[in-house]
Chains A and B, each alone.
Chain A
Amino acid sequence: MAELEAVIGLEIHVQLATKTKMFCGCELSFGDEPNVHTCPVCLAHPGVLPVPNEQAILYALQIGLALECEIAPRSIFHRKNYFYPDSPKAYQISQYDIPICGPGRLGDVRIHRAHLEEDAAKTIHVGGSGRIHGSDASLVDFNRGGTPLVEIVTEPDLRDAAEAAEWARLLRETVRQLGVSDVNMEEGSLRVDANVSVRPAGSEELGTKTELKNMNSFRFLQRGIEAELARQRALVEAGGTVVQETLHFDPASGTLTPLRSKEEAHDYRYFPEPDLVPLAPTEEMLRKAREALPELPAARIARYENEKGLPQDLSVLLASNPTMAEFVEGAWQMMPTANPTAVANWATGDLIAALRKVGANEDFLDRPVSLEDFAVVVEMVDAKKISHSSGRIVLAILAAEGGDPEAIVEREGLAQISGDDGELAAIVEQAMADNADAVERIREGNNKAIGAIVGAVMRETKGRADGGEVNRLIQERLSS
């Protein structure tokens, strides 16, 4: 049998961080007392009508533009009818055949569509199985009901679980940087479902898919998909067939269980929402949405790799932290001749470590070390005025108590000891004398033994010596 290839598509629900709900004026909130953010409209009293939230439309346009989607000149809201206590109208206002955002792309994955809809209320079923059927009571919190959502649907372009999780991270970062959502998976402002199937490698046809729900972290997303792929592969290899069903991921056990068919056997009876007119974004709205777009992670990664020669992991790290990236770009401007990768490493490694130690905000939003001071430290190291480890010490002092970097070097006696003034040479010679056995082993061809001598020099100089310089001085003396 041909090897089985995984085919994965994702459906992502993004809660928009608007001030108010999608179709009424109720405030959005998370974690408030139940049912305080409600009104006749979101409780579906008789006679109420929905009024679309303009900010939500703008946010949806921003998402669409960021995903390079075709924006529909005129899209339609539909009613998706179903009986469930999380939907007080017994229908959800969503988009069906004409969504606001058509085909697009993010990275290597094609976007099928993205549409606007409203979130359901939160329900808890008490007693029985914890599901609605057979429960003793059902509790509803309408605070969340009516929150604006954008549902993004990808094409089935992903080929393994890790790739799916990685792409989902890129999507989250992209949406986060748009500033249109909190994208918090644990709080449910970002929800990722996966459609998973397998097929013989090389086949163009799609196998029967299952839909995976409730994976509320990227780790669970990956684990859920992995588990389902293993199940489907085993099933197909044993000659069985995959049944289309919805599977619920249980984070505690890491297993997937099918939802009862009765709960998913829906005929949603979609029809155009007669209470709303077609959604036709004006030129003005599109212009506003375009102007609000920042440089997005995918573009940033490409720019850092191509123009700055940064390695991929460093590019991705910077692209996912725009505040840090902005800092690094500022440093590059101040030090045009410095190696961009070295500068970025200083910022993302040593500076972050120094900031963390003093409890400063590690996403750089609250940084006590100025760009100017950072540049002075990096340049002193570059010019060999101080050693790399002294540079770390200066950054730590700057982070903890501030001050002038050059004065700190002076005060702490961190100025690099060079080989030319004789002081370092004397220390090296002393170290060689103290470690005669190491010297002997080097002479026997064991070059690693030089570490013991360098270590002794560094201890003696309290790190003020340059490692390369120390090495050179040892080699000189060995060969003389």
Chain B
Amino acid sequence: MKDLLELTALEAHEAMVAGDLGAEEYTAAWREATAGDELNAYLWRDEGGEASAIAVERDCVAPIAVKDIFCTEGVPTTAGSRILEGYRPPYTSTAVRKLIEAGAPILGKTNMDEFAMGSSNENSAYGPVLNPWDRERVPGGSSGGSAAVVAGGLAPWSIGTDTGGSIRQPAAFCGIVGLKPTYGAISRYGMIAFASSLDQCGPLTRTVSDAALLLGILQGKDPCDSTSLGLEGGIRLPDREDLAGLRFGVPAELARDAVDAGVREVFERTLAKIEELGGEIAEVSLPSAEHGISAYYVIAPAEASSNLARYDGVRYGMRVDGQGDLIDMYETTRSEGFGPEVKRRIMLGTYALSSGYYEAYYGQAQKVRTRIAEDFSGAFSGVDFVVTPTAPSVAFKLGEKTDDPLAMYLNDFFTVPMSLAGIPAISIPAGLAEPEGGGPQLPVGFQIAAPAFAEQRLLDAAYALEQGIGFDARPGGANG
């Protein structure tokens, strides 16, 4: 048998089910590995199995790292924010409960951009996560910790959340697989809300098969989440070997100029690989997609401004008593508890919803959102999938974009439209490219999007492509 930590989650699961691998020994090896976190990827490590107290008798699913946005009873849950410092939720999110019930021990809670707002993990109140490929670079965000632990050998797999690309973009930056399922596939209950109509939980894994295994555990209609639907028929492991008969649409509006040369090259090479595997490349039109970022940065902050209003210091988390009455306490607590990006979005969103501005901003953004969804429906009448690079560049340097929120927002250009349309999309590692400005080669993600609830077809195709690409580059490791 390979080194325990080299096993994919699926391999480990099969070995445990077959009795060839002891769950205790396997989990212990991972708990030991988490102790070597030099990436600031974990905010809390579960050394004593605290979070998994209700585990089934025999763990047979690989232990997992959980983004610190999932409420877990009795263990710290901060969403990367100062305002939730010290908060230990009185209940457990449905996603984490399902993992624990399936027999997956929790390794710890991973670092993230505060309230999932960010594309670089630099907005965490607890310091940035470092990219395991190059510690001077960001791991992407907002699920940066969840991506870094998988890429950096600190967890076999993890879960994150994706609102506008927060699973797919860090997966691309860290050279792993990241899947944002259809909105409603996985319960949002207990997942701290950023933008409720967009937020979706999903897997970050080494392989497409691992993503399928994890999605199968997580998906399902939840009586605690009225907007959840689950995936009918569940998810089986993918085994497709070619792409014969499948049509892949490349958006005509894809701003190839806005994409770094290295990323573009990997993208073109991947299109060629698709054809090699029997797939067909076609051009599709998504005329409204270019307005995705504008619409997203109205809708998401609007919902966030309402979702984050509950953090007032009264019932839980941080409280800073002001000089005067209750209103003063609210203001002082929120001023000191939220970071600059969160404040920026609360202000943006409050403005967009204000009387007199609602139609011009929120109303208009919702219309764009509908148009984008219609664009995708139109495209899917001619092709099975829509493909794009996951992000316009490889991982950028820490601090490179922190002074320019707009440049940071543009990082989500390729991932936001799928979020607005509520459809599933996966990022798989497609190769390595040299960053603009030079330096060691870094991973490039390839994004495949499918119609709503077509996760099985998406995973099957992604698996075939993954096998065809044969990406096997690895970072030096968390300690390397």
Contacts and interface: CB of A to CB of B under 8 A. Distances in A.
Interaction A to B = yes
Interface of A: 40, 43-52, 79, 81, 83, 85, 88-91, 128, 132-135, 138, 140, 267, 269-271, 274-277
A50 B188 CA distance: 11
Interface stretch (B48-56, B244-252, B349-357, B432-440): B349-357
Contacts of A140: 314
Given A46-B193, A47-B193, 8 more contacts: A49-B227, A50-B226, A128-B325, A140-B314, A269-B353, A271-B303, A271-B353, A274-B196
Contacts of B77: 46
Given A47-B191, A50-B226, A133 B325 contact: yes
Contact of A47 (B189, B227, B330): B189
B258 interface: no
A81 B306 contact: yes
Contact of A88 (B90, B192, B315, B354): B315
Interface string B67-98: 00111000001010000100101110100000
B192 A47 contact: yes
Nearest to A262: B327
25 contacts: A40-B89, A45-B90, A45-B91, A46-B77, A46-B79, A46-B84, A47-B89, A47-B191, A47-B192, A47-B193, A49-B188, A51-B226, A90-B310, A90-B312, A132-B326, A140-B314, A269-B305, A269-B306, A269-B355, A269-B358, A270-B353, A271-B302, A274-B196, A275-B193, A275-B196
A138 B227 CA distance: 35
Contacts of A134: 324-325
B93 A47 contact: yes
The main secondary structure of chain A at its interface with chain B is: loop
B362 interface: yes
Given A49-B188, A81-B306, A81-B353, A271 B312 contact: no
Contacts of A49: 188-189, 224-227
Nearest to A136: B325
B108 to A, nearest CB: 18
Contacts of B87: 46
Interface in B327-379: 327, 330, 350, 353-355, 358, 362
A51 B316 CA distance: 22
B223 interface: yes
Contacts, number: 114
Contact of B309 (A45, A90, A270, A275): A90
A55 to B, nearest CB: 15
Nearest to B309: A90
Given A48-B189, A79-B306, A40 B93 contact: no
Listed from nearest, the 10 A-B pairs whose CB atoms lie closest are A90-B309, A274-B197, A269-B353, A274-B196, A46-B192, A47-B190, A47-B71, A44-B310, A47-B192, A138-B326
Contacts of A50: 226
Contacts of B306: 79, 81, 90-91, 269, 271
Given A40-B91, A51-B226, A274 B350 contact: no
A51 B94 CA distance: 14
B354 A267 contact: yes
B193 A85 contact: no
A138 B330 CA distance: 12
Given A269-B355, A271-B362, A51 B223 contact: yes
Contacts of A85: 314, 326
Contacts of A128: 325
B188 to A, nearest CB: 6
A49 B189 CA distance: 6
Contact of A276 (B226, B305, B330): B226
A181 B70 CA distance: 38
Interface string B308-321: 01111011100000
Given A40-B90, A51-B223, A89 B197 contact: no
A138 B225 CA distance: 33
Nearest to B356: A267
Nearest to B310: A44
Given A79-B306, A275-B226, A275-B227, A135 B326 contact: yes
A88 B189 contact: no
Nearest to B326: A138
Contacts of A277: 226-227
Nearest to B184: A277
Given A83-B312, A133-B327, A51 B224 contact: yes
